[in-house]
Amino acid sequence: MNAVTQDMMKKFSVNQHVTSFIDGNSVSPSGSGEDIPVISPITEGQISLLREASIDEVDHAVRNARDAFENGPWRHMSVDERKAIMLQIRDVIAANADELAYLESLNAGLTLNYVKGFHVKRAGWNFEFFAEVASQASGEAYTQTQPYLSVVTREPIGVGALIGPWNAPLALCSMKVASCIAFGNTCVLKPSEFTPLSLRRVVELIHETDIPKGVVNLVNGRGHVTGDALVSHPEVDVVSFTGGTKTGAMIAARAGEGLKPVGLELGGKSANIITATADMDRALDGAILGIYSNNGQQCLAGSRILVERSIADELIEKFVARSKKIKVGDPMDGATEIGPVCYRAHMDRVLSFVDIAKNDGGELLTGGSRDSRHETGLYLEPTAVMAKSNDAQVCQEEIFGPFATFLTYDDIDEALAIANASEFGLVGYIWSDHLPTVMKASQEMRAGTIWVNTPMTRELRAPFGGYKKSGIGRDSAKDCLQFFTEEKTTTIPMSTFPLAKWGASD
Ligand code: NAD
């Protein structure tokens, strides 16, 4: 552990027990429930204990959210009053950026600079952005069926169950909370049991603002215990989930039992197509960022890199040389480019794909092991394999680590066929200076977002979400408004026309 980490540890304390936060109060760890160690991937040492919320505790959280929704002031406030509180939340996040970045880095292993410069900023921005969306939302009016005026208004849907993953807790779950409460809803958030620290602190900080109690509640625990109790609770009106595809299917089935709308942001195995007309240097930078950013743990990774055969040797050689020089290390060290992967079982799974690749006829190009320069911590060498074909398991399964898979192709039709031969469809990348090729890729890749000559970048106003097994629904200004509100049509006659008088005559 480097000096920066040690300084940070002295500066910011970590709660010994991470508990739930319900109705504006921290739940005492004295009650029943299992204790689950919270581990830092930097050292593999225990940094806290998570007190898992039981079914009863989840029930308590949901009932408080329900009570706050039905009887509290939040949904009745003017949009401007709610917006003022959302902006207070933005400010309190900014004021505590160092601590939040530290907790995220310590717990999830993400590099401190990246978390502070991107995830924490995005967390604050989410509250500002959705406050603005709510404040600009408008309804509809129809007058075509005379003499009626029909107006369509939107109302909050109720209590949201918000469940998130461990790879970017702050950035992703803050978006769920912000987009849910902006429209007048209340919520219960369940972060991943692997990374509870930063979000627990965010929910505490949210309660330093004027937000009414019960609007934002948090429960901590594992998916099959706390998460399942939350999704299946009868007082939950809507479920927003980001995580793995198998979990998403289970949650959709559970939510379906209660006919609850469900939004699913799931996994990916996205194609990154690099053509011979591309600016090679930029494509190389983009391919490296596309797979290794966020310690290689991102749904939108360009994890299947498809290179046109005529440039493949040169590009792959450069990619391998750069991979070997990437700085893997303590995420709190400013020079680090890739930190540790999040937890041990995940690291073992990522590494298992090296043998899987070889057994499928693939060739290990670089990496493939733990980084031997670190005595402790879950550090992996940036890894790349050349697959024999797109049918190989490493081309079909999401590995979710610093693990790139290469394939070559001869023409754009072949590349697009390979890109689409996947059960996922989250994003697609195309690197080309030939406009017709770009347009063809944009039209034919079956994925929710296409990035042209750029590594991943999120435009919050535009829809983000997956085709096929990458999800159901989209996140965006408009989509979140639709997801977290109910539409209501009110029809009013504009003149007092005569009504038939049934039963009025003798
Ligand atoms: P995961 O599915 O294992 O867990 C996600 C969350 O679901 C956790 O909070 C977990 O506790 C909870 N959960 C698990 N089982 C549950 C159940 N039966 N009922 C209710 N909740 C349950 O996913 P993960 O390993 O935390 O995250 C990695 C996955 O997330 C990857 O597949 C990645 O692609 C995906 N992801 C997708 C996006 C996106 O926007 N599409 C973004 C980030 C991550």
Q: Report, as an integer, the average pLDDT of 403-430.
A: 98
What CATH fold (topology level) applies to the domain 3-266+471-489?
Aldehyde Dehydrogenase; Chain A, domain 1 (3.40.605)
Q: What's the confidence (pLDDT) of residue 7?
A: 76
Q: What's the confidence (pLDDT) of residue 161?
A: 99
Q: What's the confidence (pLDDT) of residue 1?
A: 62
Separation of 189 CA from ligand 1 center, angstroms?
Answer: 13
Considering only CA atoms, which residue is closest to atom 14 of ligand 1?
223
Which two tokens mark 174? 């803050």
pLDDT at 4 over 90: no
Q: What's the confidence (pLDDT) of residue 257?
A: 98
| pLDDT, greater one: 19 or 2 | 19
Determine if residue 161 is left, alpha or beta; phi over 0 gives left, psi from -120 to 50 gives alpha, anything else beta.
beta
Q: What's the confidence (pLDDT) of residue 19?
A: 96
pLDDT at 3 over 80: no
In the chain, domain spans = 3-266+471-489, 271-452
Strand partners, 151: 141, 490
Alpha carbon distance 330, 97 (integer Å)? 19
Separation of 166 CA from ligand 1 center, angstroms?
Answer: 8
Q: What's the confidence (pLDDT) of residue 215?
A: 98
Q: What's the confidence (pLDDT) of residue 9?
A: 75
Q: Report, as an integer, the average pLDDT of 300-319.
A: 98
CA angle 279, 282, 284 (to 5 degrees): 105
Alpha carbon distance 264, 317 (integer Å)? 38
Q: Report, as an integer, the average pLDDT of 360-382.
A: 96
Is the domain 271-452 a CATH 3.40.50.720 member?
no
| pLDDT, greater one: 3 or 435 | 435
**In which band, very low, low, confident or very high, does the pLDDT at 198 lie, cut at 50, 70 and 90?**
very high
Pocket test for ligand 1, best of 247, 348, 399, 479 (most atoms within 8 A of CB): 247
Q: Report, as an integer, the average pLDDT of 347-356.
A: 98
Considering only CA atoms, which residue is closest to atom 20 of ligand 1?
227
Q: Report, as an integer, the average pLDDT of 274-284.
A: 98
Alpha carbon distance 440, 446 (integer Å)? 12
Q: What percentage of the chain carries pLDDT values higher than 70? A: 99
Alpha helices in 163-308 (DSSP H): 169-181, 197-206, 228-231, 245-257, 280-292
In the residue annotation, 299 being an active-site residue is answered as: yes
**In which band, very low, low, confident or very high, does the pLDDT at 29 lie, cut at 50, 70 and 90?**
confident
Separation of 401 CA from ligand 1 center, angstroms?
Answer: 15
Catalytic option among 173, 180, 187, 299: 299
**In which band, very low, low, confident or very high, does the pLDDT at 484 lie, cut at 50, 70 and 90?**
very high
299 lines ligand 1 (CB under 6 A): yes
pLDDT at 15 over 90: no
pLDDT at 432 over 80: yes
- What is the distance of C-alpha 428 from the center of its chain? 17
Q: Report, as an integer, the average pLDDT of 257-279.
A: 98
Q: What's the confidence (pLDDT) of residue 30?
A: 77
Per-residue burial over 287-313, b if 16 or more Cβ lie within 10 Å, else e, is bbbbbbbbbbbbbbbbbbbbbbeebbe
Q: Report, as an integer, the average pLDDT of 454-460.
A: 92
In the residue annotation, 235 being an active-site residue is answered as: no
Q: Which atom of ligand 1 is nearest to the CA of 346?
A: 25
Q: Report, as an integer, the average pLDDT of 184-205.
A: 98
Alpha carbon distance 379, 367 (integer Å)? 11
227 lines ligand 1 (CB under 6 A): yes
pTM: 0.97
Round the average pLDDT of the chain to a whole number and report it: 97
Q: What's the confidence (pLDDT) of residue 308?
A: 98
Q: Report, as an integer, the average pLDDT of 57-84.
A: 98
Q: Report, as an integer, the average pLDDT of 207-228.
A: 98
Q: Parallel, antiparallel, or unpaired for β 262-265 and 427-431?
A: unpaired
